[in-house]
Amino acid sequence: MAEDSSLDNLDGPNRPQPLLEMSNVSKSFPGVRALADVSLTLYPGEVLALLGENGAGKSTLIKTLGGVHTPDAGTISIEGQPIQIDSPTASQQAGVGIIYQEFNLIPGLTARENIFLGQEASAFSWIGKRQEHEQAEELFSRIGVPVNPDALCRYLTVAQQQVVEIAKALALKARIVVMDEPSAALTPREVEGLYQIVDELRRQGIGIIYISHRLDEIDRLADRIMVLRDGQDIGTRDAKSLTRDKVIELMVGRSLDNEFPDETRPVGEVRLEVTNLSRGKAVQDVSFKVHGGEILGVAGLVGAGRTETVRLLFGADRPDSGAVFLDGEQLQIRTPRQAIAKGICLLTEDRKGQGLILGQTVQENFGLPNLRDFVSGGLIRKSTETAAFDRYIEQLQIKVTGGGQVAETLSGGNQQKVVLAKWLQRNAEVIIFDEPTRGIDVGAKYEIYLLMNELARQGKAIIMISSELPEVLGMSDRILVMHEGKVAGCLVNDEVSQEDVMKLATGTKDAVSV
Amino acid sequence: MKKQKYIRVFLVDYGMVFVLMALCILISVLTISDMHPEDPAAARSLARSLVKEVGSDINVLVVARKTSADEAYATALQDELEAGGAHVVAVELGTPATLRTRLEVLGQQDERVDFVATHDFSSKWRVLSSESRQEMASLYPALSKLKIAKPPSYRWPTFLTANNLIGILNQNAPIAIMAIGMTLVIITAGIDLSVGSLMALAAVVTAKSLESYLGGEDASGLSVVFAFLIAMGVCALAGVFAGVIVTAFKVPPFVVTLGLMMVARGMSYILAGGADAVKIEAESIGTLYSSSVLGIPSQIVLMVVLFIVAHIVMNHTAFGRYVYAVGGNETAARLSGVPVVAVLIAVYAICGLAAGLAGVLDASHFGTGRPKAGEFYELQVIAAVVVGGTSLMGGEGKIFGTFIGALILGVIQNGLNMAGVDSYSQMVIYGALILVAVLIDQLKKKVVKPASS
């Protein structure tokens, strides 16, 4: 699978000494066995893909290596030397650099200051700025991405911030680099850059543990693949020996015939029509239609104005101009509250930041837009609310202990289902999914797809924004492609290839009429 | 496992109740002292036990001070003694001097007196000391067998008396009422520093509107009520203003209410014309403060009712859910159709209204509008809310917790007063105890939510 590996034929005696060996690591939390007898071996100059559904124990394993968690049992050795990692500092000193999904950069400091933060000899030591500057530039050139060391991190793109994180790890002389979902927030072009960075690090003999949900990336990068499922070690295999289907099967513990459900539906009348919607530079003169029973995929690069467009539909922002019609009636929407009242609902891309109130229970989240259904005499009847939510627990197969579970403790897929439940109760007619499966594991993804199809079959109009082209092609009836705030084209999804969409999304092909 | 979980949840939600109880027990133990009953019930039981133990063939002199309470005591004593068949020689309500005269007269008349029935206070008069009695016995044979009878003393915490407990509640009612509004504001992740000043503004507006527009001395009860409503309305409007600035211009609530705090305080002094207090001439001004329901001051009843209403609103209405939602995640709340702006303005308006009510109560209490009323109350109010377990980060908090928080602070203050701690040391201890209370709360949360994967 991996195209460029210097370790292709290093089996048996030719294998160099492992860089990292974690043997029989176990870790339990109250009520949960997070890791059971997990063993991991990492060689220098290889990319080890660590796969598993959400909750499989990937993060726990990485945090054990990072000194955030102390394992209950098991040993860790680096270059053959057993080592105790009992704090993040110990982990850094052992040569482990971990780039977590949430970056640990201080927005008000420059790239250079972030890289060397914590490496001062003492709190009062003199900081040699020029020397640091040179070192930072050298690190960036080693990674192969030039970043201005004097730029405040606040102003860097996500991809640049990631480069700073990697530089920070390298500055600490890390020989083991762990990347947790590094591509989650990157545009396709930036992901390509990330591949090159990983290749470059691999060439320099650094061992890389790469965690991702995206099988494309695993295809492209991994030398070996390690799979965890429910805290169990499912084993490590050569990437070449595995097919995609086999990988998915290992992860979910059952075979999935297809990533996307097959479905043909009758398409009905036009339900939602958007004409000449504009807001600043982000959204310019956008027009499209969605029919009942149809899933309209919206593709485009990050920054193409997709999310901005649907926010206008939903009243989260106000358009400068343009009109929205639902079933032929023009809507005057100024707030999300009004949009919801008209039956337009949005499942935001930032589920945790905008979709849910994480500290509250799932039932409270569910009830929030629906309280009028449960209020009588001015008071909320909790029993009616519970009864309504319980129906959705069953219908959507939400895995919760009950309505009282705090939203924060749910997996991504189940959080998405809770958000969906609250809109279904509102009887939404237009449902907008913005990156519906981001950060959701393979099994749950499939369930979300089935639900989208089911909703379309009920005659609802579905809009799905997605940055994953296979998803757009696999799910949509038509595909609206945006580029720099404008509609680049609208394709009927038969025999459309990824390349067709990418050409429109990158602006290499002129707009195509519907 | 499950049982443990419930205990944990209970501790998180109601742990402060235990802190309050522990404080009450501690202060009770520290304030245990001799109690000397002086009420009619004690008089009756004294009379009964006297007759029971020495028989009804006794001559008794009833002695007490010349106060209305003692008169009731003496009357009860006399009635019960006579009902038991004993002979009451006389009832002496007066001073040690008048008692001495009375005893001498009785001695000269050779009127036999077996017992002086009195209470602890009068029994300590020197004229009734054993030396004095021996002396009199040697002069007058009629007094030779004179003994003292008084109700038995017992040991009981002075803290734990109905009077003291009602006093604590009454004294802290204005702060507790303001803390209700503050709880709402803090749950939305805001803060309101203006409540103390708004309280003063309400008191002065009450006084001024009565003086200038509502008839001054001749103001009727209805006019007083009207003045109260004006004052509370002004404070609610100030709250609306704060809410509008916070929502429309995204100015941090801390800054907005800091400004409002100074403006309101200054306006109170300007309205009062620089005076320390604006006298309210209306007769019925004190009615609100001094009236009572079933023997409980109306201020306390009002406070309890408001807490119950607030509890219901926060737990069982859509508005309550919206308040928690805005504090938990404003963006998510807005995208879920919560009218965030309206909720925030309403919350600051309620907080202003509560401060206005506290100011009205202050005016009724003192019969004046004091521009310096409620100084530093905002900090005490915030302390009550925080000690009650509401997070300054927003999204969580309980009305019941605030009630307990206000009581904890009141009890601490009362306990320190009783222990005779001077006011400067009180401040230190008070502050330290707030820190400890909040620290305990944090530690408790850590125990309940162990680091998750």
Q: pLDDT tens across B175-233, in order? A: 999 999 999 999 999 999 999 999 999 999 999 999 888 777 777 888 999 999 999 99
Q: CB under 8 Å to A203, separation ≥6 — which residues?
A: A6, A45
Q: Give the model's pLDDT for residue A209.
A: 95
Topology of domain B162-448, per CATH? ABC transporter involved in vitamin B12 uptake, BtuC (1.10.3470)
Q: How far apart are CA B200 and CA B197, in angstroms?
A: 5
Q: Give the model's pLDDT for residue A296.
A: 95
A460-474 as b/e: b if 16+ CB within 10 A: bbbbbbbbbbebbbb
Q: Give the model's pLDDT for residue A7.
A: 44
Q: Interface of chain A against chain B, CB under 8 Å?
A: 29-32, 34, 57, 59-60, 69, 314, 316, 335-337, 340-341, 346, 348, 353-360, 364-365, 367-369, 371-372, 375, 378-380, 382, 409, 422
Does the beta-carbon distance from B332 to A353 stay under 8 Å? yes
Residues in chain A: 514
Residues of chain B with pLDDT under 70: 1-5, 8-9, 11-13, 441, 444-453
Q: Is there a shared CATH topology between the A1-95+175-257 domain and the A261-343+428-514 domain?
A: yes
A365 chain-B contacts, CB cut-off 8 A: 336
CB A297, CB A480: distance < 8 Å? yes
DSSP classification of residue B217: G
CB A42, CB A19: distance < 8 Å? yes
Pick from A356, A378, A422: CB nearest B317:
A378
How many C-beta atoms lie closer than 10 Å to residue A341's C-beta? 15
Q: How far apart are CA A390 and CA A32, in angstroms?
A: 25
Min CA distance, B328 vs chain A (Å)?
6
Distances A79 to A19, A42, A65, A82, A204 between C-alpha atoms, Å: 5, 10, 14, 8, 16
Distances B284 to B66, B205, B363, B366 between C-alpha atoms, Å: 31, 17, 11, 12
- In the stretch 413-452 of chain B, residues with CB closer than 8 A to chain A read 450-452
Judge if pTM exceeds 0.95: no
β-pairing verdict for B278-279 and B59-64: unpaired
> Tokens 């859509």 appear where?
B318
A314 chain-B contacts, CB cut-off 8 A: 335
Q: Give the model's pLDDT for residue A274.
A: 95
Superfamily (CATH) of domain B41-152: Response regulator (3.40.50.2300)
Q: How far apart are CA A140 and CA A149, in angstroms?
A: 9
Question: Which residues on adjacent β-strands are paired with residue B86?
Answer: none
A1-95+175-257: CATH class: alpha beta
Closest Cα in chain B to A57: B453
Instruction: Using a CB–CB cutoff of 8 Å, tell me whether B333 touches chain A.
Output: yes
Q: Give the model's pLDDT for residue B453.
A: 31
User: In the numeric block, which tokens belong to residue B76?
Assistant: 């009860």
| ipTM of the complex in this document | 0.77
DSSP classification of residue A354: I
User: In the numeric block, which tokens belong to residue A127?
Assistant: 């900081």
Q: Give the model's pLDDT for residue A235.
A: 87
Count CB pairs under 8 A between chains A and B. Answer: 88
B324 chain-A contacts, CB cut-off 8 A: 357, 360, 364
Pick from B318, B334, B395: CB nearest A380:
B318
Which residue out of A29, A360, A434 would a mutagenesis test of the B interface target, given it has the greatest number of B Cβ atoms within 10 Å? A360
Biggest CA–CA distance in chain A, Å, is: 78
Closest Cα in chain A to B336: A369
Q: Give the model's pLDDT for residue A505.
A: 83
B336 chain-A contacts, CB cut-off 8 A: 336, 340, 365, 368-369, 422
Which residue out of A354, A375, A410 would a mutagenesis test of the B interface target, given it has the greatest number of B Cβ atoms within 10 Å? A354
Q: How far apart are CA A77 and CA B175, in angstroms?
A: 61
Topology of domain A261-343+428-514, per CATH? Rossmann fold (3.40.50)
Does the beta-carbon distance from A360 to B325 stay under 8 Å? yes
A493-503 as b/e: b if 16+ CB within 10 A: beebeeebbbb
Does the beta-carbon distance from B338 to A422 stay under 8 Å? no
Report DSSP letters for A157-205, one per residue: -HHHHHHHHHHHHHHTT-SEEEEESTTTT--HHHHHHHHHHHHHHHHTT
Domain boundaries, chain A: 1-95+175-257, 107-174, 261-343+428-514, 353-427
Does the beta-carbon distance from A358 to B329 stay under 8 Å? yes
Q: Is there a shared CATH topology between the B41-152 domain and the B162-448 domain?
A: no
How many C-beta atoms lie closer than 10 Å to residue A235's C-beta? 11
pLDDT tens, chain A, 514 aa long: 444 444 444 444 556 789 999 999 998 876 567 888 999 999 999 999 998 876 678 888 999 999 888 899 999 999 989 999 888 888 988 999 998 877 888 888 899 988 888 776 566 667 678 888 888 898 888 887 888 999 998 888 888 888 898 888 888 888 999 998 888 777 777 888 889 889 999 999 999 999 987 778 888 899 999 998 878 888 898 988 888 878 877 877 755 556 788 777 888 899 999 999 999 989 999 999 999 999 999 998 777 899 999 999 999 999 999 999 999 999 999 999 999 999 999 999 888 889 999 989 999 999 999 999 999 888 999 999 999 999 999 988 888 888 889 998 888 888 999 999 999 998 899 999 999 988 777 778 888 999 999 999 999 999 999 988 888 888 999 999 998 899 999 998 887 887 788 888 877 665 554 4
The helix (H) or strand (E) run that includes residue B116 is strand B115-117
Domain boundaries, chain B: 41-152, 162-448
